[in-house]
Structure 1
């Protein structure tokens, strides 16, 4: 069970709601990884690693905001892979949402995206990030285009209604453990771990997707489940393997 540090300055009903939705435990003291509050935002923090820094979902500033405004729009590799360069209002199931940055880009381009996240702490971060984003005048579309589902990816793929596109970005271990990995990624590997069951997601994804399945992979990684894609779109640091069921 994930831990949420009590903050008397935060609405107790909202804290209780987070605990109920994501099976969190409210505590007064904690050591190690836990959820806390900073500037009215829910953050993931490690009390034993002060240099780690807080991790949060922030769609209104930083990398997400810059990417939305200057990232290339429909010319981005992810947009081309998902077909948003051809059609705007696609429905997309992001079965491995993480911090939601790719989902946010897809939604900002007009898609309606369901974010699936199984880890309770990360799902809570997403929930709070969506709350704060929707309060911003320029991001009020978030409520209409982004929906959070706290579930395992496999369960969602087996029970969700059909969508145009299924998007998969499974956690992948770094190739070189001695290389400097971003602090955020180190934290994710500590808290979430690798998606060792990622290969099992491809088959149900192909059944669910009306148009295509898109899998984000490091450039050096093999195809998911060793199944070669219909095509691949290469980005700066990774590639997007595309499995086409029907034309968009």
Structure 2
């Protein structure tokens, strides 16, 4: 059930089409019983939570994404090392829990092709809007990065199981599931906490590991808070530790 809708006012035809594509209610005004709503604000789709000043949107052309692309450390970043980016090797990646697409964008900016799977309609709509704006950016590099990113609005578990059944493969499967328990989430800004509350935790995250290992040609990489338990309780084949997060890597199955 979608508990968030799009306010029509100011939205153009492309944004209204996003609402239809992702099954989002269209509201003339913000209902009193709805905690969150999507608005078209300064040329971008944003998520607002009642009573909060901050908003959440996906901006691949500017802001934090642009800064990380220019000054984040390139292939030396932890996520890039965990994925296996080195030399001329640029793996095909399946990001099965895409969220806001931040890591996917970093990997695409390094030359990887990335398929982003996101099941929640609000997160998928925000991603789709961010990708659409990046695709027509004035920056040639941003347009090229967006062209390497493909969004799929699907449940990750079903997508992985079907892909495994078809014998489909990606070099690397990347998983970054959200914890369902609020006390186990990393401290975040209020607007990001609102996003996480709306999207909810990935309660089926443990079930993703085995099918992910069946569609991975090289490895599955799981991003976790530093002190979090292993996904599905499975000891990783190797790890890439960080200050606040770590990357657990698993070898493929049945390849």
TM-score, length-normalised on structure 1?
A: 0.91
Contact 1:230/1:244 (CA < 8 Å) preserved in 2?
A: yes
How many Å separate the matches in 2 of 1:87 and 1:242? 21
Question: What's the counterpart of residue 242 of structure 1?
Answer: 249
Answering whether residue 196 of structure 2 is matched by residue 195 of structure 1, we say no
How many Å separate the matches in 1 of 2:161 and 2:127? 22
Contact 1:88/1:109 (CA < 8 Å) preserved in 2?
A: no
1:97-116 alignment runs, 5 A limit: 97-116=98-117
Answering whether residue 31 of structure 2 is matched by residue 28 of structure 1, we say no
**Using a 3 Å threshold, how does the CA distance of structure 1 residues 174 and 232 change in structure 2: closer, same or farther?**
farther
Number of aligned pairs?
A: 241
How many Å separate the matches in 1 of 2:252 and 2:12? 47
Question: What's the counterpart of residue 18 of structure 1?
Answer: 18
Contact 1:88/1:110 (CA < 8 Å) preserved in 2?
A: no
How many Å separate the matches in 2 of 1:15 and 1:189? 22
C-alpha displacement of 1:20 = 2.3
C-alpha displacement of 1:34 = 1.1
SS of residue paired to 1:97: coil
* Residue 8 of structure 2, aligned match among 6, 9, 12: 6
**Using a 3 Å threshold, how does the CA distance of structure 1 residues 112 and 26 change in structure 2: closer, same or farther?**
same
**Alignment gaps of 5+ in structure 2:** none
SS of residue paired to 1:24: coil
SS of residue paired to 1:141: helix
**Alignment gaps of 5+ in structure 1:** none
TM-score, length-normalised on structure 2?
A: 0.89
Question: What's the counterpart of residue 214 of structure 2?
Answer: 207
**Using a 3 Å threshold, how does the CA distance of structure 1 residues 176 and 100 change in structure 2: closer, same or farther?**
closer
How many Å separate the matches in 2 of 1:191 and 1:134? 27
How many Å separate the matches in 2 of 1:242 and 1:215? 6
C-alpha displacement of 1:62 = 1.8
C-alpha displacement of 1:168 = 0.1
Question: What's the counterpart of residue 172 of structure 2?
Answer: 165
Contact 2:117/2:153 (CA < 8 Å) preserved in 1?
A: yes
SS of residue paired to 1:58: coil
1:60-79 alignment runs, 5 A limit: 60-79=61-80
Which stretch shifts more, 80-89 or 186-195? Answer: 80-89
Question: What's the counterpart of residue 156 of structure 1?
Answer: 159
How many Å separate the matches in 1 of 2:16 and 2:182? 36
1:211-222 alignment runs, 5 A limit: 211-222=218-229
Cα RMSD between the aligned structures?
A: 1.8
* Residue 41 of structure 1, aligned match among 26, 40, 44: 44
How many Å separate the matches in 2 of 1:86 and 1:210? 19
C-alpha displacement of 1:200 = 0.3
C-alpha displacement of 1:218 = 0.4
C-alpha displacement of 1:154 = 0.6
Moved over 6 A (4+): none
